[in-house]
Amino acid sequence: MIKYPINFKLNGQLVSVEAPATINLLTLLRDYLNITSPKFGCEQGNCGACTVILDGEAVNSCLVLALTVNGRAVTTVEGLGTPEDPHPLQVAFTEHYGAQCGYCTPGMIMASKALLDKNPHPTREEVVEGIVGNICRCTGYNKIVESVLAAAEMAR
Amino acid sequence: MADYKYVGKRLPRYDGMQHALAKTRYVNDLRYPDMLHMKVWRSPLISAKILNIDTSKAEVLPGVVAVVTHKQVPHNRYGAGDYPVLADEEIRYLGQEVVAVAAVDVDTAMEAVSLIQVDLEERTPLLDPFKAMEPDSIQLSPIGNFIKFDGNPYRQILKGDFESAIQEADFVVEGYYRTAAQEHCPIETQVSICQTDGMGRTHINTVTQAVFFNQGTIAAILKKPRSKVHMIGGVLGGGFGAKNDPHADHIAAVVSLYTGGRPVKWLWTREEEFVASTHRGAMHMFFKDGVMKDGRIIARSVRSIRDGGAYILTNDYVVAKHAFGVAGPYNIPNVKVISYGLLTNKRPTSSMRGFGLFQASFAFEVQMDRIAKTIGVDPWRLRFINAVHDGDTSATRAVLHNCALIEVMQAAAGRAGIRLDEELLHMASHSREEV
Amino acid sequence: MKNVKYFVPATLTEALQLLEEYGPDISVLAGGTDLVRDMNLEFKIPQNIMWIGHLQLEYIKEEADLLRIGGATRMQTAASSLAVKEKAAALAKAAGKMASPPVRSLATLAGNLCTASPAADPGCAMVGLRAEVVLSSTRGQRVVPLDQFFLAPNETVRRPEELLTEIQIKPTGEREGSAYIKIGRRQAMTLAVINTTSRVKLDGAGKVESVAIAIGAAAPTLLRIRPAEAMLTGQALTEEAILEAAEIASKEIRPIDDVHGTIWYRRKAAKVLVARTLREAAKLNGGG
């Protein structure tokens, strides 16, 4: 089977991998690179559980053809914080109960990070707008919005 | 008041930071060496007779390790004893599983499925639960379309004498309420990883909400004692009732008997989740109430029809629980509830957040508003007048204690900024005297 | 297992040569929000894929009397562009309402047009703005008005060897505006049940000098409502005239009953939305 090289920056580190032209970035991250934070929820761009940051923008990794990330930069939750030094979003989601089952959480966090990187002091409206591409079936969203606003406060 | 360590304190979720760091290991995040991938042949027809299953081409495709039909299932019935693990004689719903394939990767498994030939004789489907009640309708099971309750075609709740009491009423208020079928749509789809080891013990990485219940179900399917079924569960990406009944576990467990000890993973697509997983079934509820001028409901009859889908599963439990509660938390002396569950050619319906009570609450509360409007009584007052008190009996004639509907309504009104009449604010559940 | 070949042309010439060589056997990958989704769901696995990400086709150029937008311009770029917000407001709004933020970071205008969904949001805006598209091939270029571009759902006049390289819109000038409204089953992340665009230019006396009305999700392709436009042209844009035009529009469309909406509802909604976009485009926003 024809495979093509992909060299890109993943969470700040250069990685090299080979993959066929048929696979998407979600599969590349999860199955080729053991990055399991982006989740499989629909593979149609409808649920947002696979959201990662590509060149500074939140994207549905299931809609990105893996080969197109050659030469670019991808960030996932694995690159955000550590247990010893969590990112403000991770602290906020914990303290404000932004996660219940946790399955939508990595996508929510990356979508929120992309939002806060562009707009460090969003209004509640803007937070809601920023996460409309991420579906949560557990929380009813209020706690997630509060978490993001709290993270923005923390970073002030 | 003692200072407690946990009681009365706000505590973080123990797994909150774990989720935020994406360290939570869901079943689809698990990796095993030598792991196989499973795909399933699903029926494209809603209702059909199975004439022949030909898996010969799939079996010889390089990379295919196991092809499993009903013939390889040790005990091919579960649920209420009517549900096949893999369809053998017939198809009763769109997407019903017939053949399972385990292969070295997903693409090979899918290609193998495309090589399977199943000959089906299409039948007219039965999609309307009301039609299913008619004597000359298509009969979906050997014992007919009505789900049975101690041999009866409905669950009945009787209290007092509805037929006489309704004659005494000042008003008769009728209402027809229906709730649609709903899909839980947990963001994590059904998924399972099964491996049967050299001792014949099957290890199942499961997303089930009911670990022990499913252990028993799967043990019976595999014809093994429970000690041979090892469930590893407790972490799932949402359930809401979608993951009570076995979906992926039982079929993957059977397949794992034939993969020479290799683990096999079956991940459902979102489409499979919508088409072929259990749903909350549609419910139709017909209310007929006898109400007095002063607002007392003296007689209530409810006739409910649940679209149960193709197999019984937990429908009898849903219908029964619904029947117990559909008359509402109100002190009604004469109650008649008849609740039906009908089989139709749809995906079997099962649990979702409340087992029939959510549908009941919607119906009896809208019915209260309808009564209020019809007889000209304030909707709050109507509920206070009819609310249960300690010592009253429910529709099932159980004596009630520790009632709190009145207090909850008072508190709710307060928080919503609604000013209730003094009379209502002085009511209390523990006594019918004014307090 | 299919052996799919992947190409990343570095220049437009290279890209057009690949299209000439492979024709219908090569799929153009822009944002991927349609193509990669189709591949994920096994609807379509192309034999060859050509990614146009390195062709510098994402740009917004303001010329004196033409807004030139590169085909690979993404929704979020169009939505946040000052030039588009000022000179083609309907497109900025539509691009900003389409799908969700992570999709808008990928999805391109050309991709949206070539997918030719009858309910396309940016498509509806561009049709109502009287946009034209530049189709490039090794043989040169041709410019096609967008209301002649769509043939049927997922079918356009683009030939397999052509690439939609640019969208051209005459910027709205003095006494001219555009507006776009969409109604869906949800407030966001929703397919349009009906969407409408209006582009209105008034003369010095407040009469309609030119008007374009587009409606989506109401026919096999995005529609321009010419009878309503004809009725309004030369008229004073009174509330009466607006409502009459909206009435004509609601009768001209050919909606169907489907899971997203009914004929009855679509006609009602179209009438309301056409009136609203006309008012907004002409900046007569007193009404709802």
Helix (H) or strand (E) holding B371: helix B357-375
Which residues on chain B are in Cβ contact (under 8 Å) with C4? none
A8 & A71 share domain:
yes
For residue B435, pLDDT over 80 is answered with: no
Cα A82 from Cα A94, distance rounded (Å):
14
Residue C274 · residue C249 · CB < 8 Å: yes
Distances in Å between the Cα of C235 and the Cα atoms of B216, C38, C210, C228, C244 are 77, 47, 10, 12, 12
- pLDDT at residue number C287: 36
Q: What is the mean pLDDT of chain B?
A: 96
Residue C284: band (very low, low, confident or very high) from pLDDT cuts 50, 70, 90: low
Mean pLDDT, residues A42-68 taken together: 98
The number of angstroms, rounded, from the C-alpha of B374 to the middle of its chain's C-alpha atoms is 34
Whether A60 has its CB under 8 Å from any CB of chain C: the answer is yes
Which chain A residue is nearest to residue B271, measuring alpha carbons?
A: A42
Cα B338 from Cα B331, distance rounded (Å):
19
Query: Residue B160's CB: how many other CB atoms inside 10 A?
Result: 18
Token pair of A77 as six digits: 């939750």
Distances in Å between the Cα of A130 and the Cα atoms of A109, A121, B176, C190 are 11, 12, 41, 15
The boundaries of the domain holding residue A64 are: 4-79
A144 & A103 share domain:
yes
In single-letter form, the type of residue at position B129 comes to P
A70 & A12 share domain:
yes
> Of A55, A79, A103, which closes a domain?
A79
- pLDDT at residue number C286: 41
The domains located in chain C, with CATH, are 5-51 (3.30.43.10), 60-169 (3.30.465.10), 180-281 (3.30.390.50)
Of C37, C39, C100, the CB nearest to A22: C39
Name the domain count of chain A.
2
The answer to whether A39 contacts B240, with C-beta atoms less than 8 Å apart, is no
List pLDDT tens digits, range B164-193. Answer: 999 999 999 999 999 999 999 999 999 999
- pLDDT at residue number B434: 61
> Of A79, A106, A125, which closes a domain?
A79
- pLDDT at residue number B12: 85
List pLDDT tens digits, range B341-352. Answer: 999 999 999 999
- pLDDT at residue number B113: 98
Q: In degrees rounded to 5, what are phi and psi of residue C77?
A: -70, -45
Q: Which of C36, C37, C42 to mutate to test the interface with A (most CBs of A within 10 A)?
A: C36
Mean pLDDT, residues C238-251 taken together: 97
- pLDDT at residue number B433: 74
- pLDDT at residue number B2: 76
A75 & A93 share domain:
no
The answer to whether B111 contacts C42, with C-beta atoms less than 8 Å apart, is no
List pLDDT tens digits, range B35-69. Answer: 999 999 999 999 999 999 999 999 999 999 999 99
Collapsing DSSP to helix, strand or coil, C16 comes out as helix
For residue B323, pLDDT over 80 is answered with: yes
- pLDDT at residue number C1: 60
List pLDDT tens digits, range C57-94. Answer: 999 999 989 999 999 999 999 999 999 999 999 999 99
List pLDDT tens digits, range B78-120. Answer: 999 999 999 999 999 999 999 999 999 999 999 999 999 999 9
A150 & A93 share domain:
yes
The answer to whether A97 contacts B16, with C-beta atoms less than 8 Å apart, is yes
> Of A79, A112, A131, which closes a domain?
A79
Cα A108 from Cα B368, distance rounded (Å):
40
The answer to whether C106 contacts A63, with C-beta atoms less than 8 Å apart, is yes
Whether B33 has its CB under 8 Å from any CB of chain A: the answer is no
The answer to whether A98 contacts B20, with C-beta atoms less than 8 Å apart, is yes
Cα A153 from Cα B141, distance rounded (Å):
61
Whether C259 has its CB under 8 Å from any CB of chain B: the answer is no
- pLDDT at residue number B432: 84
Cα three-residue angle A52-A56-A60, rounded to 5 degrees? 30
List pLDDT tens digits, range B142-151. Answer: 999 999 999 9
List pLDDT tens digits, range B384-427. Answer: 999 999 999 999 999 999 999 999 999 999 999 999 999 999 99
CATH of the domain at A10: 3.10.20.30
CATH of the domain at A145: 1.10.150.120
Whether B114 has its CB under 8 Å from any CB of chain C: the answer is no
List pLDDT tens digits, range C201-223. Answer: 999 898 999 999 999 999 999 99
Percent of chain B clearing pLDDT 90 (strictly above): 96
A92 & A116 share domain:
yes
- pLDDT at residue number A121: 97
Evaluate whether ipTM surpasses 0.85.
Answer: yes
- pLDDT at residue number A61: 98
List pLDDT tens digits, range B192-247. Answer: 999 999 999 999 999 999 999 999 999 999 999 999 999 999 999 999 999 999 99
Reference C212, options C190, C230, C194; nearest CA is C230
A127 & A70 share domain:
no
A92 & A75 share domain:
no
Which residues on chain C are in Cβ contact (under 8 Å) with A119? none
Residue B307 · residue B181 · CB < 8 Å: yes
User: How far off is chain B from A99, nearest CA to CA, in Å?
Assistant: 6
A116 & A59 share domain:
no
List pLDDT tens digits, range C80-133. Answer: 999 999 999 999 999 999 999 999 999 999 999 999 999 999 999 999 999 999
Chains touching B (3+ CB pairs < 8 Å): A, C
User: How far off is chain C from A154, nearest CA to CA, in Å?
Assistant: 24
For residue C227, pLDDT over 50 is answered with: yes
Cα B121 from Cα B118, distance rounded (Å):
10
The domains located in chain B, with CATH, are 27-123+185-276 (3.90.1170.50), 155-182+279-380 (3.30.365.10)
Cα three-residue angle B15-A24-C112, rounded to 5 degrees? 110
A75 & A95 share domain:
no
A10 & A60 share domain:
yes
Whether C205 has its CB under 8 Å from any CB of chain B: the answer is no
- pLDDT at residue number A1: 87
Token pair of A118 as six digits: 């562009």
The answer to whether B108 contacts C41, with C-beta atoms less than 8 Å apart, is no
- pLDDT at residue number B3: 86
For residue C288, pLDDT over 80 is answered with: no
